[in-house]
Amino acid sequence: MRGWRTLALNLATGLAVIAAEMAGFLAGVDWAAALGPREALWLVVAVNLANIALRHVTRGPAGWCGREGKCDERQAEGGR
């Protein structure tokens, strides 16, 4: 596939712009007024429980393995 570097650069630039806009929007929200202390506590607990559950369910590397056959080598060794 030719031109993948250009595609990757454009994707990274676009994602950076979106992340900057989202950060500006989220910084302007008064989270104390939007969520009460009790709701904020349960939100943090739920996110942590979801993270723990995903950690126990998934065994593979994040994303894809990259080079062809690399995933097969890791699975044969029994590692992640």
- The pLDDT assigned to 52 comes to 92
Please provide the distance, in angstroms rounded to a whole number, between the alpha carbons at the two ends of the chain: 28
As given in the structure block, the two tokens for residue 51 are 């993270």
Give the position of tokens 């429980």: 49
Instruction: Say which DSSP state 3 is in.
Output: T
If you count them, how many residues does the chain have?
Answer: 80
Tell if the pTM clears 0.85, that is, is over it: no
Q: Mean pLDDT for each consecutive 10-residue tract of the chain (80 residues)? A: 81 95 87 82 91 85 58 55
- The pLDDT assigned to 73 comes to 56
